[in-house]
Amino acid sequence: MKLLVGKTAIITGASRGIGSGIARTFAKNGANVAFTYSSSVKQANNLKEELIRFGVKAMCYQSDASDFESTQKLVSDVMVDFGQIDVLINNAGITRDNLLMRMSEIDFDQVIKVNLKSVFNMTKSVQRIFLKQRRGSIINMSSVVGVKGNAGQANYAASKAGIIGFSKSVALELGSRNIRCNVIAPGFIETEMTANLEQSIIEKWRSGIPLKRGGSPNDIANACVFFASDLSSYITGQTLHVDGGMLT
């Protein structure tokens, strides 16, 4: 059964990794998909064509989620192209890892801007539409690192923890208008980026996970489908850990 037929979703940072997995799963479930990318036009267009083959409408937009004016234009363009927006998935993010004593102010500010400010920008830009139609689902991508912290990732952990607090506040503000806001906190997810790591490092991470394996983009995508669909119509302000039991 397709759970998202008739819905249109915006997914930021979806040209690869977790974002592209979410886009594919949404298309398989009948959703029309508008997704953003930063630089790889070819990769974005290939994904768009792949999504269209599922029988849905799909378009890609080169847009910077960390820039407020860019997000306003994006939302406006998506409304023109699709006529509606039902789901917002704030997935765009970067890392600039280093120990605090070596971390530059630029690296701290950039991670906060791309990971956290982008969530404010996109939510603010789509809020008016959701309020007018009195419905909407916002899904924000945090991390287990935002809950437990991690040495060498003070900037990343701060940005991901901020997303949780932001989302809880939005859930309280917009709940009376049937607008829900939830968070997904992925653990160790195996993507094309982690494939470049040494196998010994991957095995060490896997051994510390109760389920003894890394997650896949599909694991995160399925959680997004749940939050985007009517299956979660009475759930808001919550953080779902998709981590194989890492924080158990």
Torsion (CA) 168, 174, 177, 183 in degrees, nearest 10:
-40
Q: Distance between CA atoms of 95 and 38, rounded to whole angstroms?
A: 15
Q: How far is CA 29 from the centre of its chain?
A: 17
Give the bridge partners for 32, in sequence order.
8
Tokens in use for 48?
Answer: 């768009």
126, 170 Cβ separation under 8 angstroms: no
Q: Rg of the chain's alpha carbons, rounded to an integer?
A: 17
List, by residue number, the catalytic residues.
156
Tokens in use for 141?
Answer: 């991508």
